[in-house]
Structure 1
Amino acid sequence: IPMFTSHYMMLQRNLLYTGVTRARKLCVVVGQRKAVEMAIKNSKATKRNTRLYDLLVKKS
């Protein structure tokens, strides 16, 4: 998982958690320690605009 402060908009706890937990055998975090710390501290999940709800409603 690349972790750099230059991509600060993507440094969110939930995204880091997803990356780590989806690893099957090995997870390697590469980058800056400060970026990992920023991601862990950032628990504010932004609203994600997806069409998942619409697709699920159409299927049922």
Structure 2
Amino acid sequence: MVPAFATTIHKSQGSEYPAVVIPIVTQHFNMLARNLLYTGVTRGKRLVVLIGQRKAIGMAVRGGSAKRRWTKLREWLASGAINVARS
């Protein structure tokens, strides 16, 4: 027996592991983004295994650009709700 653990791709950013197994299925289509798949695949140092559906991999690869973020940052800055220090 060899101990193992699981983590998310988000939490693994900046880390590297000897082996990575990535489940990839269409049921979680909102997570099928090219940048997320790239990050997951590049975490593996020696071995990367994708388990799931070919269709899901295709959806992730064709996903293209990241979705627009609705942070309201522009509105907060304009309203003065966030103070920006100027030097």
Question: Could you state the TM-score of these two structures normalised by the residue count of structure 1?
Answer: 0.73
Q: Deviations over 1:1-39 (max 9, x none)?
A: 111000000000000000111111100000000000000
Which structure has the bigger radius of gyration?
A: 2
Query: Which protein has the bigger strand share?
Result: 2
Question: Could you state the TM-score of these two structures normalised by the residue count of structure 2?
Answer: 0.52
1:27 to 45, 48, 60: 48
Q: How many residues align?
A: 48
Q: What value does the CA root-mean-square deviation take over the aligned residues?
A: 1.2
Query: Which protein has the bigger helix share?
Result: 1
In structure 2, runs of 5+ residues without a counterpart are 1-21, 72-87
Question: Which aligned segments of 4 or more residues in structure 1 are displaced greater than 3 angstroms?
Answer: none
Residue identity (%): 54
SS of the counterpart of 1:45?
coil
